[in-house]
Structure 1
Amino acid sequence: MRYMMIIHHDAEAMAKAPQQELWAEYAAFNQALNKAGEGFSGGLRLSPGKQGTVVRSSGGKTDVLDGPYADTREQLAGYFFIDVPDIEQAVEWANRCPSSKYGAIEIRPIVEQTAS
C-alpha cells in the first residue's frame, strides 16, 4: 500500500537541533528510501510556513492569507512517499525519519485510482 508521510515539525526545535548531525541523518534516511526500491521516493522540503499563502474561495469571493493558516508550533515541512505492505511498516519508516524527533510524522494512505 502506498502512503504519504507528512512532516510537521516545530521550527524552533529544528533550529536548536545539531544541524550537521540532522542533515547527516536526513542524507542516510533518503539513501535508505532510495535503496528500498520502487514506490519509495526521497522527500521534498518546503519553505517555512511563514512564507506560505493560503487561498480560500467562497461565494464568488477569494480570500488570500499570507503565512500559515494554522496558528500552531508545528508546521507542514515536507513529505515522502513509501510503498509498504501495511501501516506497521509505514510507522517504522516514519519513526526512522529524523523529523520525528522534532515534531510529528502524519501517515496517510494514498487513494489508488481504480479502472473505470
Structure 2
Amino acid sequence: MQYLLLIYRNENYMTDMSAADRQKLMGEYGAYTQSIIQSGHFKAGDGLQPTTTATTVRVRDGKTMTTDGPFAETREQLGGYYLVEAKDLDEAVALAARVPEAKRGSIEVRPVMIYN
C-alpha cells in the first residue's frame, strides 16, 4: 500500500538556521532518502518552495479565483513529502518517525487512494 508522508514544519526554522545547521539537516535528509530507496520503500519525494510562492485556487459559480499563499494560517507549513510503499500503517508510521523533521515539526501519514 502507498502512503504519503507530509512533512510539516515552521518555515522560519529553516530561514533562521545557520548554513552549517542547514547543511547538517540536508545531510540527514540525504541519508534518510538513501535508506528508504535501498529498502524499497521509496516511490517519490521532494521538498517544496516556501508558502510565499504558493497559489491557492478555488472555483465558485464557474469562476476561477486565486489567492497568494496557502488557504489557512497555521504554525507549521507543508514543506515536502515522501511517497512510500509500506505493508501497513504501522510500517508507514515507522518510516515517518525517521524523517528528520519529525524531531521539530510533524509528519502526517495518509494512505493513497488507488483507483481501478
Provide the TM-score with structure 2 as the length reference.
0.88
For the 8 Å contact 2:4–2:84, the answer to whether it is kept is: yes
- Aligned counterpart, 1:85: 87
Residue by residue, what CA displacement relative to the aligned partner does 1:53-92 show, whole Å, maximum 9, x if unpaired?
A: 0110011222110112111121111111111111111111
CA RMSD, Structure 1 to Structure 2 (Å): 1.5
Residue by residue, what CA displacement relative to the aligned partner does 1:39-61 show, whole Å, maximum 9, x if unpaired?
A: 52352111001110011001122
- Aligned counterpart, 1:24: 27
For the 8 Å contact 1:5–1:81, the answer to whether it is kept is: yes
Give distance in 2, aligned partners of 1:110 and 1:30: 20
- Aligned counterpart, 2:77: 75
For the 8 Å contact 1:7–1:77, the answer to whether it is kept is: yes
Paired amino acid for 2:23: Q
- Aligned counterpart, 1:14: 14
- Aligned counterpart, 1:5: 5
For the 8 Å contact 1:55–1:63, the answer to whether it is kept is: yes
Gapped regions of structure 2 (runs ≥ 5): none
For the 8 Å contact 2:58–2:65, the answer to whether it is kept is: yes
Give distance in 1, aligned partners of 2:43 and 2:2: 11
Provide the TM-score with structure 1 as the length reference.
0.88
Give distance in 1, aligned partners of 2:53 and 2:10: 15
Aligned residue pairs, count: 113
Of all paired residues, the percent bearing the same amino acid is: 39
